[in-house]
């Protein structure tokens, strides 16, 4: 039991004290067993209060500390660092959350909130009374990072890591790098094209000696933990040894009898089983789609560099950290959604961009000239019954930019924007202004009254109840209907399941805290970047890539890592291996070993996250959680009730 515990109760500038009588809380706990001093403070996290806590701990020789303030997600690390600066083991510090769990939850009941706060603080005191000084688990770190995904975010992160001095394995599932940006022509609010940006990043990647690029590669197995991840990578060959001579390559494409929808052009065109996406994508070397190839041999007759004897390779890589930059997919409307898949001149925004790419003097689609274009915003997003409730943020800007581009590139273009409010934030507002000045028409509706697309004979009609004209029912005869679709997570993203990376309600990868730890996941050593984390434009993706690269490098550059000692501990005498703990563990931290003539469970301390999932399934109560032992938790419950 502790003899000198310091308790600090935070006003949080009114966030807590407006609903909790903090002085009453202080008086209620100052005589609890072990409490030596109890104070209130306006801002516990302020530098001045941290300095005072350090002085109190050192001068009064405190052996335990409790801070009652906001969520431990925000400041647990802050106050642990305070105790360490004062010479106290940081695991003799306990955090009590009386903001989110009390003042914010019970803002309508100050007496009740105060009583609950008292009990929570007493519970924290009970825990710190039984706390022990713990030492972190030490592991060595491999100075290498695996970057999964070679879009613009992945390439930017790889360059940053390499320049910092880390070995980098850049792993791309497709045969070409560049991701979605390679499919773009002119970029919003920029003089660059997608090709220019991809070219610049690819050239930097290829000239750097510390970056190894794998294309056609996919991680199929993972093991280990922060500092020492083991990855098994499957590399599918291109079945082409060297770059074909130009005429030979074209001859090989021409004779190939297989035709499949071209994903690079969002299926508005067809491609052969032997294909390339350059000049937009790199490496500028063709590949054979072995899944659709019939092995007829026609291409081999005209191109000497095709080699179907190439074998799939399996590589074993060891890295200290993994950076996920797996990108996004554009939302695919359901059949019949605003006529998609049923009316031939209804396309998505990504498809429209590729239509403009292939149109020369006139904007053409399916052999018809396009003049009147209706853009329907927020398809698949912000809909009453839609799956995706979030706003992708970039769609409005991308649509208006495409509309302006169409007017600048082709004659007699009329743009009609069916929206629910335009969100062109920051400098992108100038695009909205330019669009308006060029005569684009904006029609707005509420979420519960979206536009309606109908086919009347050979005409496509878009109707709307326009709130900007006092709810008049208006209609437009459109040559082309463009459905503005947002970002959704990658459909084929097996790496997420392998690494057990948590996802948010939007199904994108979830960070620990959007402000304080914006690129870290709860899996130590795994960082996230770009649109794999949520809808982002190119600049935002680049910034998050730099942040994730910096964090990953700090991990692998440390040499030795100190991991949380809050892990499961096995009572070897009571354990009788039944496998239930292994089944319950989401991190595969248990192994079966032999001990004194019987089989028992053993915990890999570098993998265990201290989640506690194993504790309730153990029939013999042979597992305890260091830092949250049965005695500690029971004492907390006693204090609460």
pLDDT at 24 over 90: yes
Residue 97: closest CA among 70, 117, 116: 70
Is there a shared CATH topology between the 5-129 domain and the 564-625 domain? no
Place of tokens 């050593």: 525
Distances (CA, A) of 442 to 79, 263, 414, 472, 636: 53, 31, 11, 13, 60
Mean pLDDT of 146-175: 97
3-state secondary structure of 475: strand
Taking only the tens place, the pLDDT of each residue in 53-76 is: 999 999 999 999 999 999 998 899
pLDDT at 491 over 90: no
Taking only the tens place, the pLDDT of each residue in 418-448 is: 999 999 988 889 999 999 999 999 999 998 8
Q: Is the separation of the CB atoms in 414 and 505 below 8 Å?
A: no
pLDDT at 407 over 70: yes
| Angle of CA points 60, 64, 66, to nearest 5° | 110
Distances (CA, A) of 250 to 155, 253, 255, 258, 270: 30, 5, 9, 14, 15
Mean pLDDT of 74-92: 94
Q: What is the pLDDT of residue 271?
A: 94
Q: What is the pLDDT of residue 389?
A: 87
pLDDT band at 269 (very low <50, low <70, confident <90, very high): very high
Decide yes or no: CATH 3.40.50 for domain 5-129.
yes
Q: What is the CATH architecture assignment of 564-625?
A: 2-Layer Sandwich (3.30)
Burial 297-319 (b: 16+ CB within 10 A, else e): ebbbebbebbeeeeeeeeeebeb
Taking only the tens place, the pLDDT of each residue in 92-141 is: 999 999 999 999 999 999 999 999 999 999 999 999 999 999 998 888 99
Question: Could you tell me the CATH superfamily of domain 330-487?
Answer: FAD/NAD(P)-binding domain (3.50.50.60)
The share of the chain scoring above pLDDT 90, in percent, equals: 82
Q: What is the pLDDT of residue 244?
A: 66
Q: Is the separation of the CB atoms in 523 and 551 below 8 Å?
A: no
pLDDT at 518 over 90: yes
**How many Cβ atoms from other residues are within 10 Å of residue 33's Cβ?**
12
Q: What is the pLDDT of residue 246?
A: 67
Q: Is the separation of the CB atoms in 585 and 558 below 8 Å?
A: no
137-140/313-319 β-pairing: unpaired
Q: What is the CATH architecture assignment of 144-236+312-327+490-556?
A: 3-Layer(bba) Sandwich (3.50)
The token duo for 329 is 């997919």
pLDDT band at 243 (very low <50, low <70, confident <90, very high): low
Q: What is the mean pLDDT of the chain?
A: 93
Q: Where are the domains of the chain?
A: 5-129, 144-236+312-327+490-556, 246-302, 330-487, 564-625
pLDDT at 181 over 70: yes
Mean pLDDT of 329-354: 95
Taking only the tens place, the pLDDT of each residue in 566-623 is: 999 999 999 999 999 999 998 889 999 999 999 999 999 888 889 999 999 999 999 9
């Amino acid at each position: 039991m502790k003899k000198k515990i310091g308790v600090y109760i935070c006003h949080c500038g009114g966030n807590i004290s407006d609903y909790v009588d903090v002085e009453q809380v202080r008086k209620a706990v100052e005589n609890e067993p072990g409490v030596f001093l109890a104070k209130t403070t306006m801002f516990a996290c302020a530098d001045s209060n941290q300095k005072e806590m350090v002085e109190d701990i050192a001068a009064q020789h405190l052996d335990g500390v409790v801070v009652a303030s906001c969520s431990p997600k925000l400041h647990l690390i802050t106050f642990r660092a305070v105790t360490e600066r004062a010479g106290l083991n940081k695991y003799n510090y306990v955090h009590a959350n009386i903001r989110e769990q009390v003042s914010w939850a019970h803002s309508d009941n100050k007496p009740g909130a105060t009583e609950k706060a008292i009990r929570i603080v007493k519970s924290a005191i009970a825990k710190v009374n039984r706390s022990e000084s713990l030492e972190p688990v030490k592991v060595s770190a491999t100075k290498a990072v695996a970057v999964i995904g070679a879009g613009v975010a992945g390439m930017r992160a790889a360059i940053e890591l390499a320049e910092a001095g880390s070995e980098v394995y850049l792993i791309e599932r497709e045969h070409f790098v560049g991701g979605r940006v390679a499919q773009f022509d002119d970029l919003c609010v920029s003089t660059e094209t997608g090709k220019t940006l991809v070219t610049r990043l690819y050239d930097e990647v290829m000239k750097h000696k510390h970056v190894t690029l794998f294309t056609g590669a996919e991680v199929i197995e993972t093991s280990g933990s922060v500092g020492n991840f083991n990855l098994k990578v499957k590399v599918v060959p291109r079945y082409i040894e060297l770059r074909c001579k130009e005429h030979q390559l074209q001859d090989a494409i021409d004779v190939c009898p297989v035709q499949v929808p071209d994903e690079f052009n969002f299926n508005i065109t067809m491609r052969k089983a032997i294909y390339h996406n350059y000049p937009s994508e790199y490496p500028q070397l063709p590949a054979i789609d072995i899944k659709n190839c019939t092995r007829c041999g026609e291409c081999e007759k005209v191109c000497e560099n095709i080699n179907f004897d190439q074998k799939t390779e399996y590589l074993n890589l060891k890295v200290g950290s993994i950076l996920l930059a797996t990108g996004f997919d554009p939302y695919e409307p359901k059949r019949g959604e605003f006529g998609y898949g049923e009316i031939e001149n209804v396309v998505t925004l990504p498809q429209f961009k590729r239509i403009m790419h292939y149109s020369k003097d006139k904007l053409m689609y399916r052999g018809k000239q396009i003049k009147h274009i209706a853009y329907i915003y927020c398809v698949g997003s912000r809909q009453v019954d839609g799956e995706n409730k979030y706003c992708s943020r970039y769609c409005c800007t991308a649509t208006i930019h495409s509309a302006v581009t169409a007017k600048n590139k082709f004659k007699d273009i009329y743009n009609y924007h069916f929206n629910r409010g335009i969100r062109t934030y920051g400098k992108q507002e100038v695009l909205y202004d330019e669009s308006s000045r060029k005569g684009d028409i904006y029609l707005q509706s509420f979420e519960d009254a979206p536009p309606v697309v109908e086919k009347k004979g050979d005409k496509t009609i878009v109707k709307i109840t326009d709130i900007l004209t006092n709810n008049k029912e208006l209609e437009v005869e459109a040559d082309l209907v463009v459905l503005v679709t947002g970002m959704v997570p990658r459909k084929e993203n097996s790496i997420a399941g392998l690494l057990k990376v948590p996802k948010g309600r939007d199904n994108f990868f979830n960070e620990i805290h959007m402000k304080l730890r914006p690129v870290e996941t709860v899996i130590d050593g795994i960082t996230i970047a770009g649109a794999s984390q949520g809808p982002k434009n190119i600049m935002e993706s680049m910034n998050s890539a730099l942040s994730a690269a910096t964090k990953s490098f700090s991990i692998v550059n440390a040499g030795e890592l100190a991991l949380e000692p809050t892990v499961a501990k096995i009572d070897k005498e009571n354990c009788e291996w039944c496998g239930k703990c292994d089944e319950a563990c989401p991190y595969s931290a248990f192994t079966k070993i032999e001990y004194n003539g019987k089989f028992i469970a053993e915990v890999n301390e570098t993998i265990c996250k201290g989640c506690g999932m194993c504790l309730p399934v153990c029939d013999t109560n042979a597992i305890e959680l260091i830092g949250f032992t049965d005695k500690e938790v029971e004492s907390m419950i006693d204090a609460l009730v």
